[in-house]
Amino acid sequence: MKNVVIPVVLVGVAAAGAASIKYTGDQAHESMVAFVDQVNQAPNYQGVLKVELQSERSFIENSYRLELVLQDPEITEALSLERIPFDIRVKNSVLSAQYITQIAPGELLDQIKATQANPAKPAIQFLADASFNPFDQTLAIDHTLMTDTFSIKQKDTEVVIGALESTGSLDGDQITGEGQMGSLTVSSTGEEVLKMSGVTMTQSGTLVPGSSYMEGLFAEFTADMKLREFWFNAQNKQMQVTLNDLGFEIRQTEKEERLLLDVVNSMGDMELSSAVEASPVNLSSAKLDMTFDVNNAAFKTLTQQINEMPAAQRQNPFVMMGLMGGLTAQGINLNLNALNVQTDKGVLVADGSVQVAAFDLMRSMQDPNAIREKLDGNFKFSVDETLVNALPDQQPRNQLNQFAKHGLVKKEGGKIVTEVNVVKGQITVNGIPMG
């Protein structure tokens, strides 16, 4: 009896495994077809590009030729091509699949390989591991994008684009990603004139239930990009400018019925090396931190409307203003959390906020006073006198002295300060009514 049971179990396991592989192959194919349909049916891609797909399917592996057909004349003219072909291989296994995507052999790939640092490597390669859940019909993906280093030469100019590697994942409504890029350099007549190095990127987010990554509807989202060093030669190579530790961060969060969008720009020190004269002011650090506060539902509706809009309509300012009306009808707030500039000659700081009550955008375009009475806000500004006095241009000092005579700025303890208040559109500067 046992001798009979064992073969039956083995046959059952083998059958289940084969069924799982077939299921995986079907799911992988369906997801590929669904992606193509989604792109081709998206209004914002109409007249810009379409996707063509050819496939060869087998039990263990599927092969695809996917071509991006560029339809915008400006893009095709700039790139000097109309099609970008990709070869995609999908290896099926038990409830999982591996996608390997590369630029297909042909004239385009030959042109790219002519600029590669190592033509034996794939110029551009996208790898993805997908896991299929047959119970809730969900898909989890881990992916990696890799490129080689490229060197593009034209006459006396050479541009070197460093290798890129990024990884990410999509699991249900959760996305993550991070990446880094090698140095970008531009040389002229054999000498470097521009260089960017230390580029890193991260992102994470939670999609709105039922939304897709392409739709871009997020409940929460964070993206961060850093650039360790950026330098260039200016004034016919008489001056070298170096910017260190550049950063850009955006954070989207929900707070009850409102959506908060934080945008932070930052920079470390700036170095000026001049063959003519020394810099009068040396920057140590700078930061600009702002928060936009809008209605959550109105913002998501606006995002969805823009995604569903043909590309040509997005270029029409009147169409865009019509859509923005839904956002302004719920009120918009802006907080200047911090403006902070540190130098060796002194500091400049500012903060404040502006609240704009619900208003009709189209009406305000015809009557600017209609929006003025909707404004409330407060703004504070301070700068060290030593910093103003160090500026080589006399005009800022002269203007500030004139403002001081009229009480629009005050000098306190070696600082130049001012405070602006707005109540229902009525403006006061240091307590002095304006208009």
Q: Please report, for the chain, the start and end positions of each structural domain, with discontinuous segments joined by +.
A: 1-148
**Opening angle at CA 29, ends 27 and 35, nearest 5:** 100
pTM for this predicted structure: 0.84
**Predicted pLDDT at 6:** 38
CA atoms within 13 A on the CB side of 399: 5
pLDDT along the chain (435 residues), means of 10: 38 38 66 84 84 82 89 87 91 84 92 92 92 75 94 91 94 92 92 93 91 79 96 75 94 94 95 70 92 94 85 80 87 96 95 93 80 92 92 82 88 93 93 85
Backbone angles phi, psi at 25, to 5 degrees: -60, -40
CB atoms within 10 A of CB 62: 21
Q: What is the pLDDT of residue 318?
A: 81
Angle between helix axes 296-307 and 317-328 (nearest 10 degrees) is 160
